[in-house]
Every structure is written in structure tokens, then in C-alpha cells.
Copies of this chain bind each other. A is one copy, B any other.
Amino acid sequence: MGKIGEYTYYIDANALDFNRRPTLSAITDLVLAAAGDDADRNGFGVRDLAPQNWTWVLSRFCMELERYPEAYDTLRVHTWVSEIGRMMTTRNFLVLNEKGERLGAAISNWAMLDMSSRRAVDLSANLNYTWAVVDQPSPIEMPRRLATPAAFASEMTHRVVYSDLDFNRHTNAIRYLELMVDMLPLEYHEGPHPRRLDVNFLHESRYGDLLTVGMCCDPLQFEVRGSEGQVICRASMDWKAKK
């Protein structure tokens, strides 16, 4: 039987935007850091998988923030794995402030990727860590399956560069979030904070790929497509601009 891990992160000056509010991508990054740290501690982190040339890739993510973290807050992130399927595992998060008060929660679904074949690894056949599962349900509604928006209000393109890549040799999940959020009018960053975020990661993108990012408002939705039109990822945000 596994247990709930607690990891502490500090929201430093680097996490802040022009308003000195932590960016959505920085908060997502801290929450995902807890996933990495907890997997490391339990012996199934990316370093443990490296000898077989396997790695973890994020497939879906959602986060709800009832209270938004502030500059220089210390966050306590509780995390646990609640389920392991054949292709996917579910890891949950509670985001607390230093006093232990709940600010929000998140859920992530992960697949294991064989770096050589770029194909998914069958978790049930290849990974024996069912002992790590904690019998504690997910704290919010599961990550939603997102559809292509009917129409885009605006689009931009981006060529994948060196700094976009991570140790998995593909564009980093946080980078997609930045590309999306960068399309928003500044009134979003000056208004009420985002309440819920859902992201689906469907395909990888690699060095030199030309991405098209489409946005539509009300509700706020994004889609990133590759040069052959394949959907790379989609996101939906419950977030309103300053009136």
C-alpha cells in the first residue's frame, strides 16, 4: 500500500508575471514537480526508467484553484497514485498553502513511452508497482475529454525550438500552456484568476515542427496542431477577462 507524499515548493520571483501574480504555467509546473519527486521517491521516476529507455509522458491534466496562490507563498502539494491501468495511471494532487488550507486540486493521467519506438509501454505487463496505489479517490472531477472547437477566434504559428524541448526529446507540456496563455489578451491576466484548466495531450511535437495554435473564447478553448494537421493538444480554461 502506497502513501500520500507531501512536497513543499516556494513561489519565487521567477514564477511571477508582470502583475506579480504567479503564472498559470508556473503553478502547473510546481504541481507536476510533485509528480516527478514522488515517482523518484518511490523508485519509478524518469531516472529509474532510463536504463530501459522508457519515460513518463503526460496524457491528461486538470486543475481547479478555488484560491489562487500568491507571490512568495510556500505551497504544500500532496500527491498519490489512485489507479494503474494498462495504458494509463492516475495521479492526484491537493494544493495547500503553508498553513495547510486547501487552495485547489489537480489530477494527471500518465502513459509510459518507449523512447526508442516512441510507442506506449503496457503498464500491466511491464511495471509492478501496484503497491504504490493509495485507496483515496480523486479530489475533483476527472480530466475532461476535449473536442475540437467549432471555430477559432485567432491563430498563431510557432516553430519548435531547442528551448521548447525537454529530456523526452519533445515539446514540454508547460511550453504548450505558455503558447496558449500568450495568445490571451492581457485583460485575462489582470482579471479574476483561472478557476479550472483541462489539457489533453494527443501527439508529440519534435524539433523543427511548425505548430498552429488556435484559440476561441467563451468558453476559452485552445488547440495545437502539427504541420500535417494532426491535433497535438487541446485545452479548456474556466477563466474570465477583466471587465
Contacts and interface: CB of A to CB of B under 8 A. Distances in A.
Given A23-B163, A25-B163, A36 B12 contact: yes
Interface in A120-167: 161-163, 165-167
The complex is assembled from copies of this chain, and their number is 2
A76 interface: no
Interface stretch (A78-86, A91-99, A181-189): A181-189
A14 B31 CA distance: 13
Contacts of A46: 13
Given A47-B72, A167-B13, A207 B18 contact: yes
A163 B186 contact: no
A66 interface: no
Interface of A: 12-14, 16-18, 20, 23, 25, 29, 33, 36, 46-47, 71-72, 161-163, 165-167, 169, 178, 181-182, 184, 186, 189, 207
26 contacts: A12-B33, A13-B36, A13-B46, A13-B167, A14-B29, A14-B33, A16-B166, A16-B167, A17-B162, A17-B165, A17-B166, A18-B162, A18-B165, A18-B169, A18-B207, A20-B167, A25-B163, A71-B167, A162-B181, A162-B182, A162-B186, A162-B189, A163-B178, A163-B181, A163-B182, A186-B207
